Structure 1
């Protein structure tokens, strides 16, 4: 399990939407779940649907995480002391498969780039 402090959760990845967005059921502990949450991968940008490389990025992420129970780290906003959601209401997360950062893997494999603010 990754060391994310209080913001580490087990998540069942239900579906991959695109190269940087997934849908997951999140285990909050004590038999409490958030179901069908849209999660945006933190600090990366994959090609948008219809653009070159979008299908490859989506399929790579799908093969890596869809249908698996993995760990996620949610990221807090810099401006406010609460968990961050992006412009579409998606939680911003880093996904870990074992100890490997899947967000970083997408970048190193050329399926995504680091998101520049």
Structure 2
């Protein structure tokens, strides 16, 4: 995709399997605190309602994987979801966490 941006960030909260809160390092001692990020291209079960059990499994796996850890966000220019969250791929080294969730059966790919 064109217009990709990469940012270093630290995950401060995992709401569910596809929503996290991060502090973003923009460089030059500039940052953004408590930015909500929607993992791009995927969908996980909800933590409320009939999907709750599977939703909690996805959320807990993601918490274990990224909470309080340094990540890289790959964002797409001016791309926000319907709830105003930035859409991004979450990268740790060479691994895309979004894809890893799908590979483990904890998420499905989703078009926006």
The normalised TM-score by structure 1 is 0.87
Counterpart of 1:56?
57
* CA deviations over 1:70-115 (Å, ceiling 9, x no partner): 1110013xxxxxx211111100000011110000000000000000
CA RMSD of aligned residues (A): 1.5
Task: Give, in angstroms, the shift of residue 29 of structure 1.
Answer: 1.1
Residue 82 of structure 2 corresponds to residue 87 of structure 1: yes
Of 9, 12, 27, 1:11 maps to 9
Query: After the TM superposition, which segments of 4 or more aligned residues of structure 1 sit over 6 Å from their partners?
Result: none
Task: Give, in angstroms, the shift of residue 55 of structure 1.
Answer: 0.4
> Structure 2: how far apart are the matches of 1:110 and 1:67?
24
Structure 1, unaligned runs of 5 or more: 77-82
Q: 8 Å contact 2:3–2:76 — kept in the other structure?
A: no
Task: Give, in angstroms, the shift of residue 5 of structure 1.
Answer: 7.1
Residue 76 of structure 2 corresponds to residue 75 of structure 1: yes
Task: Give, in angstroms, the shift of residue 6 of structure 1.
Answer: 5.5
Task: State the aligned residue count.
Answer: 108
Task: Give, in angstroms, the shift of residue 31 of structure 1.
Answer: 0.8
Residue 105 of structure 2 corresponds to residue 110 of structure 1: yes
Structure with a larger share of its residues in strand: 2
Q: 8 Å contact 2:19–2:36 — kept in the other structure?
A: yes
The normalised TM-score by structure 2 is 0.91
Task: Give, in angstroms, the shift of residue 49 of structure 1.
Answer: 1.6
